[in-house]
Amino acid sequence: MRKLLFPAACLIFLLPKAQAQHATPRQLFPGLFEAVQLGHVFADNKTFVDATPLQPPGTILAAWNAEKQRPGFDLSRFVQAHFQLPTANAAEYHSNVAKGLRHHLDTLWTVLQRPAIHTVPAYSSLLPLPKPYLVPGGRFREVYYWDSYFTMLGLREANRLDLVRSMTDNFAFLINQYGFVPNGNRTYYLTRSQPPFFSLMVELLAQAQGDTVLLRYQPQLLREYAYWMQGADSLAVGKATRRVVRLPNGELLNRYWDSSTEPREESYAEDVAVAQGSGRPAAAVYQDLRAAAASGWDFSTRWFGPTGTLSSIRTTALLPVDLNCLLFSLENTIARSFVAQNKREQAQAWQRKARQRRQAIQRYCWSPQKSWFTDFDWQNNQRASPKTLAGTFPLTFRIATPKQAKLVADGIQKEFLQKGGLQTTLTQSGQQWDSPNAWAPLQYMAIEGLRRYRHNALADTISQRWITLNTQVFLQTGKLLEKYNVVEPSVLAGGGEYPLQDGFGWTNGVLLTLLNRQTRPSH
């Protein structure tokens, strides 16, 4: 009997329509994708996955197969002939330092804004969004989940509630479409989410527009919660499924998880190299790398095994303290939405979930020995050893006791506070989410947490040092950056898989918020 053979390029067209629409670049261009990424045709693997094909995949693959064996074949030239390469819009913008920092901030809202995407080019990795939004800047050409909350803080300060509302609507749209908020609006991000800040976005909008906002987004709040807790009801003690783990006393806490066990397409060559040198099953390495990307902390020794190397990464073995604080916030926001509807029984049920999570965070994440909140290693049934700025989140969400908050404040003062602000961890590893680097969202969450327990002097010190550092770098470079070196403020931050990015959404949002607070001191 004669076999029917389908070229790999045709397989995508045999998928159900919904899957074909969301096919990733690697699925669309098998063979060619690996050749481009592993051949380092572009310095940044993200360039190719963001490129737009100029012909159908089958046509491009047929041309590649026909031409690649010819003498003098140039893969880079081939890609540029068959794909529209992305541009970094923010890189085209040149600030006028003489006009000052606030003028720069005001201008960046326009530079980083993008219009609604109702339709996307054929075979593009981009996903539609119904309303305008802001991107972080640089290589980050799409909306990003947790970045956006901190950008929205700045939009509130700039009296741009219209954009706060439209971005919140976009995240509600993504939850409706996919059942969760993807890492970003790209097909290659559809296997994972990011730190769940949607409830905080809703609360931010409710502060300005009233509790009717809670009712407007209640369906999406509930659906996001269902995504994080999927499989929990039937989970046995000591077992994990997807993003949830049942602990020895029956409590439920969450972890980061990505449903794929393949290399990240946007960092394909890097992930393949890590797996090859790990001595571990490649699928396990890829899943832990992806889970760390879902955390937003990609990468940090926070996630590493005893060797302290990226190849030892074990993100899925850890229950992150900051993630569980965010889910505590989500449970409380859902409870508030039922209070606003006068649905007392449902409100109490959600309040009970929040209380149970708070008790679990206290039981498993507070380390009396370290006087700090840490992640919990559920596989080894012990608290994780590294102290990181994630340990300030229980203050931000009022989970800590006053005594614990005082101990954490002391630890911040003694170990984390540097010339330019708070270092992310106490370890210098070369990874970008370790010392000496610092990030705007973590400064903001720590400052908020300290203020909620009336450690205002320390909060003010952190705020002032961060503002001074941001201002100094702006005067030197004309830019606001993704991350900063707080140990040696005269040296730009480094580490990570890509060059230092400017733009930069969450830096702008946090900086403007802190600047405005200086002009209206808290009482």
pLDDT over 70 at 81, yes or no:
yes
Domain positions in the chain are 8-86
3 state DSSP class of 522 = coil
Output the pLDDT for position 92.
Answer: 61
CA-only gyration radius of the chain, Å = 23
Q: How confident is the model at residue 514 (pLDDT cuts 50, 70, 90)?
A: very high
pLDDT over 90 at 97, yes or no:
yes
From residue 469, give the alpha-carbon distance in Å to each of 17, 215, 420, 464, 480: 50, 41, 5, 9, 10
Share of the chain above pLDDT 90, in %: 92
Q: Which of 50, 266, 271, 298 is catalytic?
A: 298
Active site includes 262? no
From residue 257, give the alpha-carbon distance in Å to each of 245, 250, 268, 287, 365: 11, 21, 18, 8, 19
In angstroms, the first-to-last Cα distance of the chain is 84
Cα-Cα-Cα-Cα dihedral of 501, 502, 503, 505, to 10°? 50
Q: How confident is the model at residue 522 (pLDDT cuts 50, 70, 90)?
A: low
pLDDT over 90 at 359, yes or no:
yes
Residues 247, 239: Cα–Cα separation, whole Å: 8
Residues 408, 394: Cα–Cα separation, whole Å: 10
Output the pLDDT for position 4.
Answer: 37
Active site includes 322? no
Q: What is the pLDDT of residues 173-194, one digit of tens each?
A: 999 999 999 999 999 999 999 9
pLDDT over 50 at 41, yes or no:
yes
Residues 46, 204: Cα–Cα separation, whole Å: 32
CA angle in degrees (0–180, nearest 5) for 344-230-242: 145
Output the pLDDT for position 496.
Answer: 86
Q: How confident is the model at residue 210 (pLDDT cuts 50, 70, 90)?
A: very high
pLDDT over 60 at 5, yes or no:
no
| φ, ψ of residue 384 in degrees (nearest 5) | -70, 150
Q: How confident is the model at residue 18 (pLDDT cuts 50, 70, 90)?
A: very low
Residues 118, 173: Cα–Cα separation, whole Å: 12
pLDDT over 90 at 335, yes or no:
yes
Q: Which of 50, 142, 157, 482 is catalytic?
A: 482
Q: What is the pLDDT of residues 258-315, one digit of tens each?
A: 999 999 999 999 999 999 999 999 999 999 999 999 999 999 999 999 999 999 999 9
Q: Return the half-sphere exposure (C-beta side, CA atoms, 13 A cut-off) of residue 398.
A: 8
What is the rounded average pLDDT of the residues 465-486?
A: 97
Cis, peptide link before residue 299, omega less than 30° from 0 = yes
Q: How confident is the model at residue 89 (pLDDT cuts 50, 70, 90)?
A: low
Q: How confident is the model at residue 87 (pLDDT cuts 50, 70, 90)?
A: confident
Whole-number average pLDDT of the chain: 94
Helix pair 321-340, 344-365: axis angle to 10 deg: 170
Residue among 168, 175, 166, 169 at smallest CA distance from 220: 175
Residues 103, 2: Cα–Cα separation, whole Å: 70
Q: What is the pTM of this model?
A: 0.95
Phi-psi region of 300 (alpha: psi -120 to 50; beta: other; left: phi over 0): beta
Q: How confident is the model at residue 20 (pLDDT cuts 50, 70, 90)?
A: low
Cis, peptide link before residue 436, omega less than 30° from 0 = yes
Do the Cβ atoms of 278 and 284 come closer than 8 Å?
no
Look-up of token digits 């992930």: 271
What is the rounded average pLDDT of the residues 473-489?
A: 96
Q: How confident is the model at residue 137 (pLDDT cuts 50, 70, 90)?
A: very high
What is the rounded average pLDDT of the residues 8-28?
A: 63
Q: What is the pLDDT of residues 416-431, one digit of tens each?
A: 999 999 999 999 999 9
pLDDT over 70 at 409, yes or no:
yes
Helices (H) and strands (E) in the chain, counts: 22, 16
Output the pLDDT for position 364.
Answer: 98
Output the pLDDT for position 75.
Answer: 98
| φ, ψ of residue 75 in degrees (nearest 5) | -65, -40
Q: How far is CA 477 from the centre of its chain?
A: 26
Strand partners, 382: 377
92 or 40, greater pLDDT: 40
522 or 71, greater pLDDT: 71
